[in-house]
């Protein structure tokens, strides 16, 4: 698909003349481009232009209001601390009419951000320091937003971490058996069914007020952190599309799920799959170095529980999709979703064995 980038970029406030646009990054949801401009004085600069996937994000207006409100709130905190608001959070560039996005004649939704220069993202964790920095970055993100009024945010994807709803979807998939695969995955179905009561743990704590709603990122992977070229530390959390109200342990737990595993998400040799207590400690130490100042006792307890629950939720989502005929998650080979499910369930089982030690680590770094 080709786009008239000049026509689109003309709709946004900028001081330069359009030069060219190139695909940018490795995201799979939105179409992302680096767009280059030149000022009258000959200075060249670039911005990020994205075409929002409005099939996934069905409410672009609510989505962009979320992002704007959160980033403006962050900017105030960053300025008060003497930081650089243009590098330490995203900056939405408005349209010439004052909007947060532009809808073209083809029905596509576009947004523009200031480019965070002199920083890089990594697609995978290279060493323990990366994972520690990941913990610090997402812990600081939650800390800065700990007093943000979450009622001002919408759910950009309905029921995203509603594990009770995810479990109901799983049971429906078992009952319908659309792809005729139920007969082949008896052990996996049994594993999930035995843990049905676990699915509602965090939802119940939120609903009863045992833990508060927080601003959560909901995609806490290393590649959503801009790493400063000079310091090697996380400087800016990006990809704010799934920012919405949730539990602090959602972000903590999803980071552990992907970052503390000793194997790939679709590893077929389950003997290689474990949750590394060392990596759990590395992330926890980074996260709590900044997050312990605002988390409640109940939230601290929920962190390890959240690691297990986010992993379990992911496992049942993979299994649900496999039972439905692989219609949601992209696969590159037969049975990949089943293999993904099995790795998540192996991690869940391993976390259950290590839960006491995980709680001890959290307590150690929260004091």
Say yes or no to pLDDT of 225 above 90.
Answer: yes
Is the same domain home to 108 and 201? no
3-state secondary structure of 122: coil
Is the same domain home to 284 and 223? yes
In the prediction, which pLDDT does 126 show? 85
d(CA 93, CA 53): 18
* Confidence class for position 1, pLDDT limits 50, 70, 90: low
* Confidence class for position 73, pLDDT limits 50, 70, 90: very high
Strand runs labelled E in the chain: 17-23, 31-38, 44-52, 92-93, 102-103, 109-114, 119-120, 214-216, 225-228, 234-237, 244-246
Mean pLDDT along residues 11-30: 90
In the prediction, which pLDDT does 194 show? 98
The boundaries of the domain holding residue 144 are 128-366
* Confidence class for position 2, pLDDT limits 50, 70, 90: confident
pTM across the whole model: 0.93
In the prediction, which pLDDT does 170 show? 98
Domain count, the chain: 2
Say yes or no to pLDDT of 234 above 90.
Answer: yes
Say yes or no to pLDDT of 64 above 70.
Answer: yes
Segment 320-365, tens digit of pLDDT: 999 999 998 889 999 999 999 999 999 999 999 999 999 999 999 9
3-state secondary structure of 17: strand
In a domain, 122, yes or no: no
Average pLDDT of the chain, as a whole number: 96
Is the same domain home to 147 and 256? yes
* Confidence class for position 27, pLDDT limits 50, 70, 90: confident
In the prediction, which pLDDT does 148 show? 98
Segment 142-180, tens digit of pLDDT: 999 999 999 999 999 999 999 999 999 999 999 999 999
Query: What's the CATH number where 151 sits?
Result: 3.90.1200.10
CB 49 within 8 A of CB 24: no
Buried b (16+ CB within 10 A) or exposed e, 49-74: bbbbbeeebeebeebbbbbbbbbebb
Is the same domain home to 340 and 282? yes
């Amino acid at each position: 698909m080709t786009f008239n980038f000049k026509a689109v970029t003309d709709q946004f406030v900028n001081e330069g003349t359009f030069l060219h646009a190139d695909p940018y990054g490795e995201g799979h949801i939105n179409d992302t481009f680096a767009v280059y401009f030149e000022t009258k004085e000959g200075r060249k600069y670039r911005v990020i232009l994205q075409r929002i996937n409005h099939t996934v994000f069905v409410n672009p207006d609510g989505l962009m209001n979320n992002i704007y409100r959160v980033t403006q709130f962050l900017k105030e905190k960053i300025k008060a601390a003497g930081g650089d608001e243009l590098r330490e959070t995203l900056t939405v560039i408005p349209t010439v009419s004052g909007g947060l996005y532009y809808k073209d004649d083809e029905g596509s939704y576009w947004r523009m951000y200031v480019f965070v220069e002199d920083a890089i993202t990594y697609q995978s964790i290279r060493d323990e320091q990366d994972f520690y920095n990941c913990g610090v970055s997402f812990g600081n993100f939650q800390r800065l937003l700990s007093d943000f009024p979450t009622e001002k945010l919408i759910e950009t994807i309905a029921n995203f971490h509603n594990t009770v709803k995810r479990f109901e979807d799983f049971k429906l998939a078992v009952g319908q058996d659309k792809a005729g695969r139920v007969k082949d995955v008896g052990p996996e179905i049994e594993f999930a069914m035995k843990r049905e009561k676990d699915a509602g743990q965090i939802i119940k704590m939120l609903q009863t007020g045992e833990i508060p709603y927080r601003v959560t990122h909901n995609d806490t992977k290393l590649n959503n952190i801009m790493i400063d070229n000079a310091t090697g530390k996380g400087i800016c959390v990006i990809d704010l599309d799934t920012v919405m109200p949730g539990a602090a342990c959602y972000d903590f737990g999803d980071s552990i799920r992907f970052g503390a595993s000793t194997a790939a998400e679709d590893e077929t040799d389950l003997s290689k799959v474990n949750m590394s207590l060392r990596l759990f400690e590395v992330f926890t130490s980074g996260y709590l170095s900044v997050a312990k100042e605002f988390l409640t006792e109940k939230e601290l307890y929920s962190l390890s529980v959240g690691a297990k629950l986010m992993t379990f939720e992911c496992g049942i989502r993979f299994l649900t999709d496999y039972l439905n005929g692989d219609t949601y998650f992209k696969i590159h080979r037969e049975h990949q979703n089943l293999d993904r499910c099995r790795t998540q369930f192996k991690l869940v089982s391993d976390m259950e064995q290590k839960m006491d030690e995980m709680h001890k680590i959290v307590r150690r770094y929260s004091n």
